[in-house]
């Protein structure tokens, strides 16, 4: 993840005006493929291309790619696959232009993930799932993730960009601290006599992850609030690799890209999975989706080899130019030649994630729950800021608002109330 203190953001409107300011920059062609080797049958994928942002116009389209790695059964993965996109879109007002739609998407992704989790848990299911959810709109790629499946990007200019976070307790100290502060216990499996084995897990339940959808039996401090990163590619395009942990536990990001260089997406996905299985065997469901984002005038083919920068380079820092006057920025960035970061946030606190800056009249409905989109009568909604440090500075009508049940969900995730009796269930 990039360090926010080392670069400055560019106004999103400036980045998105490149298409209209330069007629040569058209929407890209997307070519995708996927492959899976199954052991438990708990990995599921979702692919939907040419989704219409404005119904009926045939122009304002976007594509969606999702990977759901279930555990303790497949119910959560199947439910999330079937409902997540609709829940995300329901959190987006219908009257937004393209710039506003892209700006609102990170917040809508958070709302959609939380609503999907809340609705699934109301069905009293005990399984859970990781989610890596990718939306491609023009040259803008938005990725929301919980769990340990990952999405990487190799732009045509070269390098490797990590667009998702790894929420395994073993490697994420910040998440371990959050879970314990919220009432969970983190430790290894105790086999008796003081002997501990395996990765760090959250107890009760024994889950290795700090974020997922589902997992009601573990505790609500295992949250569905996703890490979200949004980037804009140059008009040269790039390649996305979305894979479950069965791939990343065996091979690195660079190895996954090198093993399929020059191949089209479907063959590339197969090579990546087989490379991972060949290295460690089929220990888990192993799934890969490869998406090539190509200039529209180019034939459907794999991304060209990157410029020589030395193998193994990880570009975790996204370059963002210094901000200045709008006219100067537009002139300076008319023809982008590298990946630009638009948005990045990983906080698990809903009060931080649903309070993004946006035009009041456009970006949320004043008397609608910010998560589940149900109507909230005046005086019944609870401000998302209730109980936070900002609360004394806010007026009673300062939104966004949550309905009573979503407020209970928020409090439980933040350890402000008991999440009830949980049944022990070893997972993942």
Ordered DSSP codes for 54-98? STT-SSSEEEEEEEEEEESSSHHHHHHHHHHHHHHHHTS-TT--H
Residue 1 lies in a domain: no
What is the helix (H) or strand (E) element at residue 293, kind and residue range?
strand 286-294
- 8 A C-beta contact, residue 239 and residue 257: yes
CATH code at position 212: 3.60.40.10
Neighbouring CB atoms inside 10 A of 199's CB total 13
Residue 303 lies in a domain: no
3-state secondary structure of 329: helix
Report how far residue 192's alpha carbon sits from residue 428's, in angstroms, rounded to the nearest whole number.
21
Q: Do 158 and 64 reside in the same domain of the chain?
A: yes
| Domain residue limits at 124 | 30-296+339-346
CA distances from 24 to 72, 98, 185, 295 (A): 50, 19, 55, 10
| Beta-bridge partners for 294 | 29
How many domains is the chain partitioned into structurally? 2
| Beta-bridge partners for 341 | 231
Q: What are the residues whose beta carbons fall under 8 Å from the beta carbon of 299, sequence distance 6 or more? A: none
Q: Do 96 and 211 reside in the same domain of the chain?
A: yes
Q: Do 291 and 360 reside in the same domain of the chain?
A: no
pTM, whole model, 2 decimals? 0.81
Q: Do 274 and 357 reside in the same domain of the chain?
A: no
* Average pLDDT value over all residues in the chain: 80
Cis amide linkage into residue 299, ω under 30° from 0? no
Q: Do 236 and 365 reside in the same domain of the chain?
A: no
Report how far residue 260's alpha carbon sits from residue 35's, in angstroms, rounded to the nearest whole number.
13
Q: Do 41 and 128 reside in the same domain of the chain?
A: yes
Tokens of 163: 């667009």
Q: Do 220 and 131 reside in the same domain of the chain?
A: yes
**pLDDT per residue of the chain (428 residues) written in tens, 0 to 9:** 444 334 445 555 555 554 444 433 478 999 999 999 999 999 999 999 989 886 665 567 899 999 999 999 999 999 999 999 999 999 998 888 888 999 999 999 999 999 999 999 998 678 999 999 999 999 999 999 999 999 999 999 999 999 999 999 999 999 999 999 988 899 999 888 778 899 999 988 899 999 999 998 888 889 999 999 999 999 999 999 999 999 999 999 999 999 999 999 999 999 999 999 999 888 889 999 999 999 987 555 445 454 434 333 334 333 333 333 333 333 333 344 689 999 999 999 988 898 755 444 434 555 788 898 888 776 677 877 776 665 555 554 566 888 888 988 888 888 776 544 433 334 45
Chosen domain end from 316, 346, 376: 346
Report how far residue 161's alpha carbon sits from residue 151's, in angstroms, rounded to the nearest whole number.
9
Which segments of 122-160 does DSSP mark as H helices, in order? none
Report how far residue 276's alpha carbon sits from residue 285's, in angstroms, rounded to the nearest whole number.
11
Residue 193 lies in a domain: yes
Q: Do 265 and 171 reside in the same domain of the chain?
A: yes
Q: Do 160 and 64 reside in the same domain of the chain?
A: yes
Residue 427 lies in a domain: no
Report how far residue 422's alpha carbon sits from residue 428's, in angstroms, rounded to the nearest whole number.
17
Tokens of 320: 């963002």
| Beta-bridge partners for 45 | 67
Residue 310 lies in a domain: no
Q: Could you report the per-residue pLDDT of 332-368, keeping only the tens digit for each?
A: 333 446 899 999 999 999 888 987 554 444 345 557 8
Report how far residue 367's alpha carbon sits from residue 339's, in angstroms, rounded to the nearest whole number.
38
Q: Do 283 and 389 reside in the same domain of the chain?
A: no
Which segments of 143-264 does DSSP mark as H helices, in order? 173-181, 245-248, 253-258
Q: Do 286 and 353 reside in the same domain of the chain?
A: no
Report how far residue 50's alpha carbon sits from residue 53's, in angstroms, rounded to the nearest whole number.
9
Give first-to-last CA distance, the chain, whole Å.
25
Residue 89 lies in a domain: yes
Report how far residue 290's alpha carbon sits from residue 256's, in angstroms, rounded to the nearest whole number.
11
Neighbouring CB atoms inside 10 A of 193's CB total 5
8-state DSSP, 2: -
Q: At what angle do helices 75-90 and 98-121 cross, to 10 degrees?
A: 140
Chosen domain end from 318, 346, 374: 346
b/e burial code for range 115-139 (CB count within 10 A of at least 16 → b): bbbbebbeeebbbbbbbbbbbbbbb
- 8 A C-beta contact, residue 401 and residue 378: no
Q: Do 288 and 398 reside in the same domain of the chain?
A: no
Residue 421 lies in a domain: no
Residue 202 lies in a domain: yes
- 8 A C-beta contact, residue 394 and residue 383: yes
């Amino acid at each position: 993840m990039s360090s926010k203190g080392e670069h400055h953001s560019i106004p999103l409107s400036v980045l998105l005006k490149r298409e209209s300011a330069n007629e040569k920059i058209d929407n890209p062609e997307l070519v995708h493929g996927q492959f899976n080797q199954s052991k438990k049958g708990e990995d599921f994928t979702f692919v939907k291309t040419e989704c219409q942002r404005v119904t009926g116009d045939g122009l304002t389209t976007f594509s969606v790619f999702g990977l759901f790695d279930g555990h303790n059964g497949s119910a959560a993965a199947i439910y999330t696959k079937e409902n997540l996109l609709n829940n995300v879109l329901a959190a987006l007002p219908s009257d937004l232009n393209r710039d506003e739609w892209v700006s609102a998407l990170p917040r809508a992704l958070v709302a959609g993930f939380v609503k999907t989790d809340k609705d699934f848990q109301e069905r009293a299911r005990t399984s859970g799932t990781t989610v890596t959810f990718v939306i491609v709109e023009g040259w803008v790629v938005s990725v929301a993730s919980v769990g340990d499946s990952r999405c990487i990007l190799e732009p045509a200019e070269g390098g490797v960009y990590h667009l998702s976070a790894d929420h395994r307790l073993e490697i994420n100290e910040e998440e371990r601290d959050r879970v314990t502060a919220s009432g969970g216990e983190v430790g290894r499996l105790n086999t008796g006599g003081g002997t501990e084995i395996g990765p760090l897990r959250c107890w009760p339940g024994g889950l290795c992850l700090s974020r997922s959808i589902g997992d009601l039996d573990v505790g609500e401090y295992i949250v569905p609030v996703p890490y979200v990163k949004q980037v804009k590619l140059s008009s040269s395009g790039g390649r996305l690799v979305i894979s479950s942990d069965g791939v990343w536990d065996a091979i690195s990001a660079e190895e996954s890209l090198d093993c399929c260089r020059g191949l089209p997406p479907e063959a590339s996905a197969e090579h990546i999975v087989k490379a991972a299985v060949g290295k460690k065997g089929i220990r888990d469901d192993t799934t890969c989706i490869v998406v090539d984002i190509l200039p529209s005038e180019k034939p459907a083919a794999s991304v060209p080899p990157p410029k020589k920068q030395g193998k193994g380079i990880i570009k975790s820092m996204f370059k963002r130019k210094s901000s200045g006057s709008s006219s100067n920025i537009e002139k300076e960035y008319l023809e982008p030649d590298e990946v630009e970061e638009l948005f990045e946030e990983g906080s698990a606190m809903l009060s931080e994630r649903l309070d993004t800056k946006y035009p009041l009249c456009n970006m949320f409905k004043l008397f609608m729950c910010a998560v589940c989109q149900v109507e909230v009568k005046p005086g019944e909604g609870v401000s998302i800021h209730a109980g936070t440090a900002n609360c004394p500075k806010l007026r009673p009508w300062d939104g966004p608002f949550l309905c009573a049940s979503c407020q209970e969900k928020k409090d439980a995730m933040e350890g402000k109330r008991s999440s009830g009796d949980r049944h022990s269930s070893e997972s993942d």
